[in-house]
Amino acid sequence: MTHHPDAALVRKGYEAFSQGDMETIRSLMTSDCTHHSPGSSQMSGHFKGADNVLAHYGQLMELTGGTFRVELEGAYPDGRGHVMAVHKWHGDRGDRGIEMRGGLFFTLVGGKISDIDECVEDIDESDAFWGQG
């Protein structure tokens, strides 16, 4: 099965994330890309600009001692510059582990990711896992 170019770009981003390849991720984003994370934990908020988005991803790894991982289940384009990606994410912090389904809604402009809206299965559980810092 061939993938729509927008879905292929998102899949490439997930693959790069799984390999820790931040330079490839950077190359897929606009310089002013924004990642919106839900909830009220230390990992929640709006991270604007490629440097801030990548720093946010680095913090996911730092807070979980490198155990954070994401398994892509599907990437679904609308053919108008949006892709909905569904995944399961995992991580360990101290004596606590988490496994949760979630998704990212991508907006693409000019073949690059300009906006990422994150959704999680259980915001309260996600907030409890990440804590306030």
Query: How distant, in Å, are the alpha carbons of 32, 34, 55, 85 from that of 51?
Result: 9, 10, 6, 22
Task: Tell me the per-residue pLDDT of 54-97, one tens digit each, with 9 for 90 and over.
Answer: 999 999 999 999 999 999 999 999 999 999 999 999 999 999 99
Please check whether residue 107 is in contact with residue 113, taking contact to mean a CB–CB distance below 8 angstroms. yes
List of domains in the chain: 5-130 (3.10.450.50)
pLDDT band at 121 (very low <50, low <70, confident <90, very high): very high
State the pairing for strand pair 29-37/112-120. parallel
> How many CB atoms are closer than 10 A to CB 25?
22
Prediction pTM value:
0.95
Query: How distant, in Å, are the alpha carbons of 32, 36, 101, 133 from that of 71?
Result: 26, 19, 9, 26
Average pLDDT, the chain: 97
pLDDT score for 76 = 98
